[in-house]
Amino acid sequence: MMEMNDFFDLRKIAPLVRSYVLPESDFNPQGEWSHRYRMFQLPGLRFNSFGEFSIQRSGTSENAFQLDMKMERNALSGFKHYTAVKMLCSNDALSTPQQWSYEAKTARNEKASPYRNTGMLKSAVYRNGAIRYRIGRFSSTVPAPNPFACKTGLFDAVQRLSTEASQLSFDYMDEYDELSADHVLRYKGTYDVQMKNGVEPLSCFIETGSGTLPISYWRDALGRLLFRISGVEVFALTEADGIPISYDDKRDLSIRAQKETEEGS
């Protein structure tokens, strides 16, 4: 069995991983599903939740499918930053976006009007090696000659990747409109990991590239993405198709993880 210290990213959230109860429901990454993630930060030795991310896959056909995604992040003075996205994707290895629209705002709650000038509605279409963006009456075009993937679309793509596939090279779109070059996604390995109800095989994929810290994706035997870890940011799956998932997320979690690391070194 893999020791938690063998992987720096999992080691940072070791108590969470050991307390995690895998969903008992079936999962087909090629079909329709809905996942919700809690977003955590680990500055210093603190472990703080700073928002939630939900992603739903639907309208699946041989060539395409739709992703509906929402992100809610804590802001100052009781406000939150909201993003809502509808994205039509190619049914390929990178879940390549074909057209999408997203609405962003800062507000007191999800249904409230945007605070001052924080509201924005933007749409985009990818065609013939270029992305055309539109905001109201204004439009712009950005060259996109290489294969590319969206940061949140990779939550879908990594669940469908074969562990026997070659590494993927692509450009990377962060927050639905900023492209950076030369990213690579590769299979690292499958490891037996101690979780709440016993030892479970978790597969790890690693993404590296310009403009971002290395990212590790950890999925279960059915392909469900459980953890996305990059630097001090952690996404943990908290709900799968409406079924809540139990795990330890106490604020002293990072402190306990650090102590375990020191004792095991």
Instruction: Tell me the pLDDT tens digit for each residue of 175-233.
Output: 888 888 899 999 999 999 999 999 999 999 999 998 788 999 999 999 999 999 999 99
Question: How far from 27 is each of 68, 175, 208, 240, 257, CA to CA, in Å?
Answer: 18, 27, 27, 9, 30
Alpha-carbon distance 72 to 117, whole Å?
A: 18
119/243 Cα distance (integer angstroms) = 32
| Mean per-residue pLDDT, 58-64 | 91
Per the model's pLDDT, the better-predicted residue between 149 and 256 turns out to be: 149
Phi, psi angle pair for 158, to nearest 5°: -70, -20
Exposed, middle or buried by CB within 10 Å (0-12, 13-18, 19+), for 196?
Answer: middle
Distance CA 231, CA 213 (A): 6
Q: How confident is residue 22, by pLDDT bands cut at 50, 70 and 90?
A: very high
Give the separation between CA 113 and CA 203, rounded to whole angstroms.
42
Q: Return the domain boundaries, the chain.
A: 4-264
The answer to whether 83 and 104 are in contact (CB under 8 A) is yes
- Could you list the beta-strand ranges (E) of 42-96: 48-58, 64-74, 80-90
pLDDT of residue 24: 87
Cα–Cα–Cα angle for 4, 217, 199, rounded to 5 degrees: 40
> What pLDDT, on the 0 to 100 scale, is given for residue 6?
61
Pair 135, 121: CB distance under 8 Å: yes
Specify the pLDDT at position 3.
55
C-alpha atoms less than 13 angstroms from C-alpha of 49 in its C-beta half-sphere? 13
Distances (CA, A) of 109 to 79, 92, 105, 115, 165: 7, 36, 10, 10, 43
Q: Which positions ≥6 away from 83 have C-beta within 8 Å?
A: 69, 70, 71, 102, 103, 104, 175
The model scores a pTM over 0.85? yes
Top pLDDT among 6 and 93 is at: 93
Quick one: 162 exposed, middle or buried, by C-beta within 10 A (0-12, 13-18, 19+)?
Answer: exposed
